[in-house]
């Protein structure tokens, strides 16, 4: 495969990703994510994802002959790991703060406990989702790079 074909495939993946970011911005997902994720790990994952995508695109463009792309696979797995850290943190927050001051005879404390549980659960789920999506798209870009290298 020629460098142009490989670069065009990467560019298509990157443009579809930008389109996804635009759609999520249109539907106000960024503010929902900001309010729901108490750890803010989702934004760290997104920043890592953006820089990694640009790095893969640069390697694709210059057709790096040293083929040191293993770092990309490590970063993809790190995005998954960060998502799991957010999951565990969300569950710890949910379970640690929920049952501290609960008084079953007072409905307000029960409502507060449920609100705390929802905040912890949203952190767990949003960081997991962000890590999974970032890891998947990075892996798609890496497969494009490596399969194109094998076909050359």
Instruction: Note the pLDDT tens digit of each residue in 87-107.
Output: 999 888 888 766 666 777 778
Confidence of residue 24 (pLDDT cuts 50, 70, 90): very high
- Tally Cβ neighbours within 10 Å of residue 42: 24
pLDDT, mean of residues 72-92? 94
pTM above 0.75, yes or no: yes
Q: Give the structural domain span for 10.
A: 3-151
Q: Do residues 10 and 141 make contact, with C-beta atoms less than 8 angstroms apart?
A: yes
Count how many domains the chain has. 1
Q: Do residues 120 and 90 make contact, with C-beta atoms less than 8 angstroms apart?
A: yes
Q: Do residues 152 and 62 make contact, with C-beta atoms less than 8 angstroms apart?
A: no
pLDDT, mean of residues 56-66? 82
For 67, phi then psi, to 5°, come to 55, 40
104-148 pLDDT, tens digit per residue, is: 777 887 787 787 788 888 889 999 999 999 999 999 999 998 885
For 57, residues 6+ apart whose C-beta sits below 8 A from its C-beta are: 7, 10, 11, 14, 141
């Amino acid at each position: 495969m020629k460098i142009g074909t490989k670069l065009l495939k990467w560019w298509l993946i990157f443009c579809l990703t930008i389109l996804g970011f635009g759609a999520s911005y249109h539907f106000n997902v960024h503010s929902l994510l900001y309010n729901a994720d108490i750890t803010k790990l989702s934004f760290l994952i997104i920043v890592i994802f953006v820089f990694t995508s640009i790095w893969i695109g640069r390697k694709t463009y210059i057709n790096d002959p040293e083929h040191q792309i293993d770092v990309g696979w490590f970063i993809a797995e790190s995005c998954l790991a960060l998502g799991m850290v957010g999951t565990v943190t969300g569950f710890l927050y949910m379970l640690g703060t929920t049952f501290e001051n609960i008084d079953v005879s007072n409905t307000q404390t029960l409502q507060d406990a449920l609100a705390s549980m929802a905040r912890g659960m949203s952190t767990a789920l949003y960081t997991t989702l962000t890590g999974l999506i970032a890891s998947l798209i990075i892996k798609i870009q890496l497969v494009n790079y490596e399969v194109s290298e094998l076909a050359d």
